[in-house]
């Protein structure tokens, strides 16, 4: 595939890192440097529980270009990515992650996959289809996030999300 994004970049900007950057540039930088936030964060713990429950029900994972596609469901030979989030507040992050995963599939020639982002606790579901415009948008963001990851740590963001962020200790929010 002819792309400005190299495979090496994708081993830095994984789906998890990509979603972190979409939340906060500073969080993305931490994530790109494989610095992990506090594991006692209630939101992380709840997210793990939800994913564990879904895996117990027979759903699967695949590994692609440095990223894990957490749950993939094949229906009538179609590929559907299901991104499960712990709460409604994580839907934006899940939507960004799903777009990134659709882009990865596009890179290997799979263009008919769809994605479903769901938060079981709120019964909210968002469905996403890939498109040339969306792939271009994801590529531009990967290039921006990669350039940011090899620079200095971005300043602390003025964001209402800090209280729910696993890096808040590193940002002096506790």
Instruction: Kindly list the residues in this chain that would bind ligand SF4 in the complex (CB under 6 A).
Output: 24, 26-27, 156-157, 159, 161-162, 165, 167-168, 171, 173
What distances in angstroms separate CA 110 from CA 22, 97, 105, 146, 167, one per listed residue?
Answer: 24, 17, 5, 24, 35
- Whichever of 87 and 159 has its CB closer to ligand SF4, that residue is 159
CB 128 within 8 A of CB 96: no
Sort strands 67-75 and 60-64 into parallel, antiparallel or unpaired. Answer: antiparallel
Q: Kindly state the smallest distance separating residue 170's Cβ from ligand SF4, in Å.
A: 7
Closer residue to ligand SF4 (CB): 82 or 91:
91
The residue with its CB nearest to ligand SF4 is 165
Cα–Cα distance, 19 to 119 (Å, whole number): 16
In angstroms, give the least distance from the CB of 162 to ligand SF4.
3
H helices of 36-131, in order, are 42-56, 91-107
* Closest approach of ligand SF4 to the CB of residue 80, in Å: 30
- Measured between its terminal Cα atoms, the distance across the chain in Å is 45
Distance in Å, CB of 106 to ligand SF4, minimum: 29
Choice between 66 and 154, CB closer to ligand SF4:
154
- With respect to ligand SF4, which residue has the nearer C-beta, 27 or 106? 27
Residue 124, helix vs strand vs coil: strand
């Amino acid at each position: 595939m002819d792309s400005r994004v190299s495979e090496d970049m994708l081993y830095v900007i994984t789906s998890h890192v990509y979603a972190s950057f979409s939340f906060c540039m500073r969080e993305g930088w931490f994530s790109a440097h494989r610095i992990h936030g506090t594991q006692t964060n209630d939101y992380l713990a709840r997210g793990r529980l939800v994913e564990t429950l879904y895996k117990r029900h027979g759903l699967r994972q695949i590994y692609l270009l440095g990223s894990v596609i957490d749950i993939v469901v094949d229906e009538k030979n179609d590929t559907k990515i299901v991104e499960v989030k712990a709460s409604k507040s994580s839907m934006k992050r899940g939507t960004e992650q799903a777009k990134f995963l659709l882009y990865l599939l596009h890179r290997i020639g799979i263009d008919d996959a769809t994605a479903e982002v769901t938060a079981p606790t709120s019964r909210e579901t968002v469905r996403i289809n890939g498109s040339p415009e969306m792939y271009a948008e994801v590529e531009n963001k990967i290039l921006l996030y990669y350039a940011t990851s090899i620079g200095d740590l971005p300043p602390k963001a003025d964001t209402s999300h800090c209280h729910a962020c696993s890096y808040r200790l590193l940002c002096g929010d506790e």
